[in-house]
């Protein structure tokens, strides 16, 4: 299958997946910020975990109008910039364009569905550790994988077709039956680790696991997320907490993406990872005292930092 | 009444209360650290909130052996240094010496009782904002008051006598019927504000009250503390939370002592304010998920900072 693919948000995630698809011969068009000239000149370099891939020719643009209609659009902007999407995406759409959000947390598919119709929305969960080490270089620390699913209902032929395109590009990709359930399952990990790593003093997952009290907190936060998921109608099993702990024990000293954002002085994805899950938990009457505490504190940390930086609480636009 | 009074821990609290007692004619002996020579030469200067008091002659020593037996010993070291007290205090004791701890949190009276006998232990709750602005100057931001009570049982004649000595020295001092209950009541304030002010980005109480989510967290933490106090047998009324919020609204942009310690790079009083209340809550089966989260995170923050400063997790000894 050949798709005309648009990549919106060319940070590490967008550049990596877009780069792999382009290298495999798909027609890929990147929306870029300031790095446009540099990437046009030098291409992209994907490296790490046994890979060393140079893609000399990258189609990049600073406006979605210049890209025009695509068959598939990958959304990889930070969720804090979601409010720009309704204005940004329309030039990329034809009648059957599919929108696949690779973003963190909850609420991203809903935003796309509200503005562009639920029937064209898919979501992907990225389990990979990527770092942009120069304007044209993305380093991966692990092989990683991506899970994709439909926003509405079980997988369709198109879901497996897109997964096939990812697989043919050398990416580990599987299709999930129930995307919402898998989003909550990922939150079981992100809600505790992404917050505690920042709040407990800027520490990695290994340091969290090594501290009895922090491990207690982690497990208890995980149980709150599982409880909320179940009350929201997603049959997430209780054992998901222990499974995530076991998986984390194999990961070494891992820094969650929000900790990297924090240490890099970037805004944090507060609403997608903590705010929206909390609102959904509250709407169904799930008790989530720890989630609320973490949300309140992180939200303040993010605001205080942005005020100190003089940028105010506003969004960093993508383009 | 004239007492021979020893002051152990000559930070802001010890220097201020000791200084006031000395200025009123009590025989006061201070155990001091490095500032000994300076204070011998220049005395103490207490100022702020309508006061400007110079005490030219201060009796100070770098060993409790040089002080010798006292009638009353005020303990004002940071609770993180409590482990040195069993070795430090004996030279100050005669058969009827009273020990009055002015320290924060829970567990201080118990430590003294375990080592020196419960019958000689009293506790004082200091409601005052003091800052040491130079080696010989203590500034107060408010008039403040101190509440004292017996560790075991209701007030005795000696309790009122000591309160009288404080009052005659120009200090607001009242006697409390139930010291343990009042310690928990003070924790209703300290547990949320002293932690959230640090974790939410280094903000004052006014900023916490202004943030809806942080105010929710504050109230919910207060309710956990009240719940734990009641299960521990202290009949703390539910309205204590709202009362503390109302009182805080009148305080202006106040920085809790633990935030000042944090910003000053000093170790935090984690165990007295969060650890010991949590252990007591758990012992009686009180659900305190927010307290546990705050404790786990702050304990890690404190350790990470001390490791970064190269001091290790050990105590700063007082002498």
User: pLDDT, tens digit, for every residue of A236-286?
Assistant: 999 999 999 999 999 889 999 999 999 999 999 999 999 999 999 999 999
Binned at pLDDT 50, 70 and 90, residue A315 comes out as: very low
pLDDT at B13: 96
pTM across the whole model: 0.93
- Chain B residue numbers touching A203 (CB-CB < 8 A): 300, 304
Across the interface, do B297 and A216 touch by the CB < 8 Å criterion? no
SS (H, E, C) chain A: CCCEEEEECCCHHHHHHHHHHHHCCCEEEEECCCCHHHHHHHCEEEEECCEEEEECCCEEECCHHHHCCEEEEEECCCHHHHHHHHHHCHHHEEEEEEEEECCCCCCHHHHHHHHHCHHHEEEEEEECCEEEEECCEEEECCCCEEEEEECCCCCCHHHHHHHHHHHHCCCCEEECCCHHHHHHHHHHHHHHHHHHHHHCCCCCHHHHHHCHHHHHHHHHHHHHHHHHHHHCCCCCCCCHHHHHHHHHHCCCCCCCHHHHHHHCCCCCCHHHHHHHHHHHHHHCCCCCHHHHHHHHHHHHHHHHHHHHCCCCCCCCCCC
What are the backbone dihedrals phi and psi of residue A210, each rounded to the nearest 5 degrees, phi first?
-80, -15
Q: How many domains does chain B have?
A: 2
What's residue B311's pLDDT? 62
User: What pLDDT score was predicted for residue B312?
Assistant: 52
Residue A300 placed within a domain: yes
Question: Would the pLDDT of B33 be above 90?
Answer: no
Same domain, A32 and A128: yes
| Domain closes at, from B177, B208, B230 | B177
Asked if A294 and A104 touch (Cβ cutoff 8 Å), the reply is no
Residue A296 and residue A186 share a domain = yes
Please indicate, yes or no, whether residues A36 and A137 belong to a single structural domain of this protein: yes
- The share of chain A scoring above pLDDT 90, in percent, equals 91
The pLDDT of residue A311 is: 61
CB contact under 8 A, A196 and B304: no
Question: Which residues from B are below 8 Å from A220, CB to CB?
Answer: 289, 292-293
Mean pLDDT value of segment A65-77: 98
Active-site option among A65, A186, A223, A316? A186
A154 and A285 in a single domain? The answer is: no
What is the C-alpha R_g of chain A? 19
Give residue-wise pLDDT tens across range A11-30.
999 999 999 999 999 999 99
Domain end marker among A145, A177, A209: A177
Closest-CA residue of B relative to A307 is B201
Q: Please check whether residues A188 and A120 belong to one and the same domain.
A: no
CATH number at B294 reads 1.10.1040.10
Q: Which residues of A touch B210 (CB under 8 A)?
A: none
Quick one: pLDDT at residue A314?
46
Q: By three-state DSSP, how is residue B55 classified?
A: strand
Q: Are A216 and B304 within 8 A, CB to CB?
A: no
- State the pLDDT confidence band at A33, using cuts at 50, 70 and 90: confident
Report the DSSP beta bridge partners of residue A52. Answer: A47
Residue B315 lies in a domain: no
Does B299 contact A213 at a Cβ distance shorter than 8 Å? yes
B300 with A203: Cβ contact below 8 A: yes
Chain B residue nearest residue A308, CA to CA: B201
Average pLDDT over residues A104-129: 97
Asked if A300 and B211 come within 8 Å (Cβ–Cβ), the reply is: yes
Give domain status of residue B165, yes or no. yes
Compare CB distances from A199 to B220, B290, B297 and report the shortest one's residue. B297
Look at residues A158, A177, A196 and tell me which one is the last residue of a structural domain.
A177
pLDDT for A199: 98
Both tokens assigned to A81: 């910039």
Query: If residue B51 lies in a helix (H) or strand (E), which one and from where to where?
Result: strand B51-55
**A94 within some domain:** yes
Q: Is position B159 within any domain?
A: yes
Do A169 and A111 fall into the same domain?
Answer: yes
Q: How far apart are CA B193 and CA B141, in angstroms?
A: 18
Mean of pLDDT values over B3-31? 97
CA-nearest residue to A278 within chain B is B213
Task: Indicate the average pLDDT of chain B.
Answer: 95
Closest Cβ opposite residue B297 in set A196, A299, A300: A196
User: Can you tell me which residue has the tokens 């903000």?
Assistant: B203
Share of chain B above pLDDT 90, in %: 91
Same domain, A34 and A157: yes
**Structure confidence by residue, pLDDT tens digits, B211-248:** 999 999 999 999 999 999 999 999 999 999 999 999 99
**Rounded alpha-carbon distances, angstroms, from residue A294 to A46, A280, B241, B294, B300:** 35, 16, 21, 9, 15
Pick B304's closest partner by Cβ from A201, A217, A299: A201
pLDDT 10s digits, B265-299: 999 999 999 999 999 999 999 999 999 999 999 99
| Residues of A whose CB is below 8 A from B289 | 220, 289-290
**Predicted confidence band at A312 (pLDDT cuts at 50, 70, 90)?**
low
- More confident position, A312 or A274: A274
Average pLDDT over chain A, rounded to an integer: 95
In a domain, B318, yes or no: no
Instruction: Search chain A and give the residue with CA nearest B307.
Output: A201
Using CB atoms within 10 Å of the CB of residue B102, give its burial: 0 to 12 exposed, 13 to 18 middle, 19+ buried.
Answer: buried
Chain-centroid distance, C-alpha B81: 12
User: B19 and B106 share a domain?
Assistant: yes
Q: Is A316 a catalytic residue?
A: no
A293–B221 CB contact, under 8 Å: yes
A34 pLDDT exceeds 80? Answer: no
Q: Which domain holds residue B239?
A: 181-309
Q: Do B211 and A296 make contact, defined as CB atoms within 8 angstroms?
A: yes
Query: Which residue from B202, B220, B300 is facing A289, i.e. has the nearest CB?
Result: B220
pLDDT at A223: 98
| Pairing assessment for the beta strands B93-101 and B27-31 based on DSSP bridges | unpaired
* Residues of chain B contacting A, Cβ within 8 Å: 196, 199-203, 207, 211, 213-214, 216-217, 220-221, 289-290, 292-297, 299-301, 303-305
Rg of chain B over Cα atoms, rounded to whole angstroms, equals 19
Together in a domain, A168 and A191: no
Per the domain annotation, does B316 fall within a domain? no
CB atoms A216 and B290 under 8 Å = no
Structure-model confidence comparison of residues A157 and B319, the more confident one: A157
Catalytic-labelled residue, pool B186, B223, B246, B316: B186
As given in the structure block, the two tokens for residue A238 are 């209780």
Alpha-carbon gap, residue B267 to B200, rounded angstroms: 18
A300–B214 CB contact, under 8 Å: yes
pLDDT tens digits for range B53-97: 999 999 999 999 999 999 999 999 999 999 999 999 999 999 999
Predicted confidence at residue A305, as pLDDT, reads 94
Q: Is residue A314 part of a domain?
A: no
Q: State mean pLDDT over A36-63.
A: 95
Give the nearest chain B residue to A193 (CA atoms). Answer: B297
Q: Which CATH number characterizes residue B24's domain?
A: 3.40.50.720
What are the structure tokens assigned to B107, written together? 């567990």
Q: Does the structure show a pLDDT above 70 at B145? A: yes
pLDDT of B171 over the 60 cut:
yes
Residue B316 confidence class, pLDDT cut points 50, 70, 90: very low
Cα gap A24→B178, rounded to integer Å: 76
Please check whether residues A299 and A192 belong to one and the same domain: yes
* Gap between the Cα atoms of B191 and B186, Å rounded: 9
Q: Which residue in B289, B292, B294, B305 has the most chain A C-beta atoms within 10 A of its own C-beta, making it the best mutation to test that interface?
A: B289
Residue A316 scores a pLDDT above 70: no
Same domain, A204 and A120: no
Give B94→chain A minimum CA distance, Å. 42
Residue B35: pLDDT band with limits 50, 70, 90: confident
Residues A190 and A248 in one domain: yes
């Amino acid at each position: 299958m050949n798709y005309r693919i648009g990549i919106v948000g060319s940070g590490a995630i967008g550049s990596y997946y877009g780069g792999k698809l382009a290298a495999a011969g798909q027609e890929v068009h990147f929306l870029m910020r300031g790095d446009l000239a540099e990437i046009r000149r030098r291409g992209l370099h994907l490296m790490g975990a046994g890979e060393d891939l140079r893609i000399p020719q990258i189609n990049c643009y600073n406006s979605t109008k210049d890209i025009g209609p695509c068959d598939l659009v990958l959304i990889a902007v930070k969720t804090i910039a979601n409010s720009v999407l309704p204005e940004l995406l329309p030039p990329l759409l034809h009648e059957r364009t599919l929108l696949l959000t690779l973003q963190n947390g909850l609420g991203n598919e809903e935003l796309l569905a509200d503005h562009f119709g639920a029937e064209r929305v898919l979501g992907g969960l990225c389990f990979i550790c990527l770092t942009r080490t120069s304007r044209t270089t993305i380093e991966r620390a692990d092989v990683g994988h991506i899970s994709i699913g439909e926003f509405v209902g079980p997988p369709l032929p198109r879901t497996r077709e897109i997964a096939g395109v990812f697989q043919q590009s050398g990416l580990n990709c599987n299709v999930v039956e129930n995307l919402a359930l898998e989003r909550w399952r990922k939150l079981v990990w992100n809600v505790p680790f992404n917050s505690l790593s920042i709040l407990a003093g800027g520490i990695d997952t290994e340091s969290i696991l090594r501290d009895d009290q922090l491990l207690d907190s982690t497990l208890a936060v995980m149980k709150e997320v599982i409880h909320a998921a179940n009350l929201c109608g997603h049959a997430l099993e209780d054992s998901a907490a222990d499974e995530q702990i076991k998986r984390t024990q194999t990961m070494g000293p891992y820094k969650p993406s929000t900790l990297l954002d924090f240490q890099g002085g970037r805004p944090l994805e507060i609403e997608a990872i903590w705010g929206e899950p909390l609102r959904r938990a509250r709407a169904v009457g799930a008790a989530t005292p720890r989630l609320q505490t973490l949300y309140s504190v992180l939200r303040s940390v993010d605001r205080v930092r942005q005020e100190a930086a003089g940028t105010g609480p506003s969004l960093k636009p993508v383009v």
